[in-house]
Amino acid sequence: MARVLVIEDDAAINDVVATRLARDGHAVTQAFSGSEARLLLGEKDAGFDVVVCDLMLPGATGEELVGLIRSRDAATPVVVISARATAADKIGLLDLGADDYLVKPFDLDELAARVAVQLRHRGAVAATPSGTLRHRRWTLDPEARTLTVDPSTEVPLTKIEFNILEALVRRPNKVFSKAELFELAWGEPFAGDDSTVAVHVSNIRSKLRATGTDDYLRTVWGMGFKLA
């Protein structure tokens, strides 16, 4: 299992990135400021296999963190994510020691693919989500992309519906905003239409009603959705 450090002060972006990378089987640690990241990187057993880092951070800038990582470790890949898109910015970060640079807004699947490339270059083995996921009476199989409700009722789901449930089950205590669920399920930036996610959640509940588990999906009014 690869250890990934995500450094991003925007909590919504940080959570979406962390959840997407966790879906690939990575163990994700989140830092929400440059100073927090510096503490994590300074821990004796930090041992991160790849770092995903924003630039505009409180406490320490992304440039400072890239320099810190390179001063201690020449091998750990660093993928920079930033709204700064000029060629000079990219060249400067690559010269400083970053391994890749992705401009915001970015596609989550592209970020995941670039992280996987860096792990292959490093020689780290990224675990795939081959194990099943369980939540109360639900069993999700990420490889077969099936949902079974105990004892043996298989519930047919579309690709998007399965992606939504998988995101929720992987982080059962988190309240996901509609924007976060959209970006995780569709793999693209949120388009601003709240009803899209709500309709899919409603469809999932309808399919689950016969199993008596539709109430596992809880609406947190004014915020989004989570598991009961």
pLDDT recorded at residue 183 = 86
pLDDT recorded at residue 25 = 83
Residue 7, helix vs strand vs coil: strand
pLDDT recorded at residue 148 = 94
Instruction: Give the separation between CA 72 and CA 74, rounded to whole angstroms.
Output: 7
Total-model pTM: 0.60
Domains belonging to the chain, first-starting first, are 3-122 (3.40.50.2300), 133-227 (1.10.10.10)
pLDDT profile of the chain (228 residues), mean per 10 = 90 93 88 94 79 94 90 83 84 84 90 87 51 87 89 90 90 88 84 83 94 94 90
